[in-house]
Chains A and B, each alone.
Chain A
Amino acid sequence: MVDITPMSFSLFSGIWGLYVDVKSLIKMALQPMPYPVDWCGGGDNPVKGPTLQLSDIMKTNRRTIRSYEKRIWFLKFGIFFELSTPRPLTRQNEWQVYHNGLEQCRLADELGFDHVWAVEHHFLEEYSHCSSPEVFLSAVAAQTRRIRIGHGAVVCVPEMNHPVRVAERAAALDIISNGRLEVGTARSSTWTELGGFQVNPDDTKKTWDEFCRVLPKMWTQEEFEWQGKGFSMPSRNVLPKPYQNPHPPMWVTVTTPGTELDAADRGLGCLGVSAAGYEEQERRTKEYHRRIQLCDPVGGVINDQVHTMNFLYCDEDYRKARDIGVPMVNAFNVANTHLYWTREAYPTRAYQTLGNAGAGMKAKKAAVDDPSLAKGLPEGVGVGDPEHLINTIKKWEEIGVTGINFLLNAMEMVPQEQVLASMKLFAKEVMPRFRSKEDLAAPVYTPTSLPAFVGAEK
């Protein structure tokens, strides 16, 4: 068994469209190559995927490097859905929000966006009516061809989702989408949700960790049994297995500062869901990239991508973009602050900030606790004309972020036709500055374009 270093794993993860350290690749190529190599590396990681020859891996890596010369550093653009719904909370309004979202996904697929993400939230009036993301994402999978489909994220507490059901649903969605699934994991940060399911907040970090470790096993082992803290089960074959081999890339949603380190330690992607400023994001991203080099991966692949959440409203006229985009951002933030945050409700070590809004609130509190201040537009928000957005996104790219996921609307503040126009303008004027036409035209992970070792058993 060769000792696959963490860096070599980032080469695998490069196949998901990210970060490859060329120097490390050369260094690795010069080293002796014992065979064979398990995907998941050695150590005591019990997840076993298909055995590969290191020569195959190197071949793949070389091919990857070549193909990534143009692609490797290009930033991924995603769209992110909370499915926030305006009052009155009528069935018609909910129907409209869902169907507008699906139309946006179809357009995003055509325009070359890379990801669609959908959250899982429960009971969050107005803020998010996306309680069954697997259903929404299944519809997206059926109506799109190339865009990757992300759980952003599955709530990993057994009172809400039994881990077997998470594994089963994800595998089925991966099959239906032809291997386009990304699986984000989360633990929920509001008492509104945790209290609704009578979850003990002290336990959510532990159950999240347990889910992260068992999901890859369920996806890859024919016989799975478990005696754990959050759940236990006798030996069963959890079916179906996902289409991607060994399994879809895994992520952690990051709200609380420090969670990015939990992601790094487990070899999981960092899916930011709260806006941080450039400086803070740079600090977190650097530390994440440093830490993931030392990770003990919970799954069969390391995902070392760092995505951040942002808002998007793009118009040729900067002032018009702000006039429309800023109220949308503010409406989202106000609805967010109506939630009852776990830290506010329940004294616990497990929640150290007031959720999404908390970081901003805490930072500002030191200076002034003026209630007239909306959260407003922090730096780096994607609202403006194309030139402004290009400059903004360049800064995010410079600090090492590998993807930006945009909220396109909030409480339907922006009429659907304007949302679609904003997406089209962004794709026409902004996106090409970060990738070539060839990249934009390239299909993403259709069965025939999967790397050789993905689905190699077929």
Chain B
Amino acid sequence: MIVGSANIETLAEDAATIESFGTSEIVFEDVVCFQMTMEMRNQAREAVLPKGLHPTVPATLSMQAWEIGRSPFGEFKMVVCRIGCRSGVRARGYSTRVYTNTQIAATALKQEFGFSTQLAEIDFRHSFDGTDVKVIFESRVIFEAACLDPEPMSNSDVQYTGTLNLAHTPNGLRLVQLEAHHVASQVERLSSRLLSFDSEAWGNSLLDPYTVVSASLAYETVTFPPVRFVCKPDELAFTGTESV
């Protein structure tokens, strides 16, 4: 059984803090969600995850760019970097860092969801013939993808896995499980190219996406129910899970 081997304290250096868990759901409307999945080389697959998680075979990484039209935090964009993993037997993405374009959203993403968030310039353009995403942080392009040839897909053809954020919580340092419910009205599959990826800027210099598997774009509403479970980062989920 393969499990993560990263130093928890190092991972926690820029962990967000959730003072108290919310009790009501949060809804994002008029959302455009871009998801790009990539394979990483296997050398570092264990080194980038905490001990409580299992890497996928092969190691994988997904980038999600969100354009949110309406939310309790206003209109904003965000881009999330997630490592494909398993928590127990559940398919998950362990987030390493999030960039957003508004201060209100940055604060909310940290406090409500436990995302490790920073402000950046996000250029997310989608049209009938393609999609481009670019994230600029401190004048550097830290992520850029170019996608063409959108193909219409059925609304159920795209799969999103839950996200795990390492955050300081009332229970201690925990992996916070976000269960986003996506209801799509339109889904496209895209041919895509990764033009730029700055691993340091995404939280871990060992991140090594080298080949794109797929990309999709969905127009949807996303609902986040209140957090129900958190997991100890250094213990497998079978024994390290706590109810909130």
Contact = CB atoms under 8 A, between A and B. Distances in A.
A372 B159 contact: no
Interface stretch (B13-21, B88-96, B112-120, B139-147): B88-96
Contacts of B231: 371-372
A414 to B, nearest CB: 16
A369 interface: yes
Nearest to A344: B159
A455 to B, nearest CB: 44
B187 interface: yes
A446 interface: no
Most buried by A among B179, B213, B228, B239: B213
A345 B57 contact: no
B89 A348 contact: no
A372 B89 contact: no
A370 B179 CA distance: 11
Given A338-B57, A341-B91, A344-B91, A372 B213 contact: no
B159 A338 contact: no
A127 B156 CA distance: 28
A369 B229 CA distance: 9
A374 B238 contact: yes
A372 B237 contact: yes
Contacts of A343: 159
B153 interface: yes
Nearest to A331: B1
Contacts, number: 115
Interface string B149-184: 000011011110110000000000000010100000
Interface stretch (A3-11, A118-126, A279-287): A118-126
A345 B60 contact: yes
Given A346-B37, A372-B237, 14 more contacts: A192-B58, A335-B1, A338-B56, A339-B56, A340-B56, A340-B57, A347-B157, A347-B159, A370-B243, A371-B92, A371-B177, A371-B231, A371-B241, A372-B231
Interface of B: 1-2, 37, 39, 54-58, 60, 84, 86-92, 153-154, 156-159, 161-162, 177, 179, 187, 189, 213-214, 216, 228-229, 231, 237-241, 243
19 contacts: A127-B57, A192-B57, A192-B58, A334-B86, A334-B88, A334-B89, A335-B1, A338-B2, A338-B56, A338-B86, A339-B57, A340-B58, A344-B84, A344-B161, A349-B154, A361-B91, A368-B228, A369-B162, A370-B241
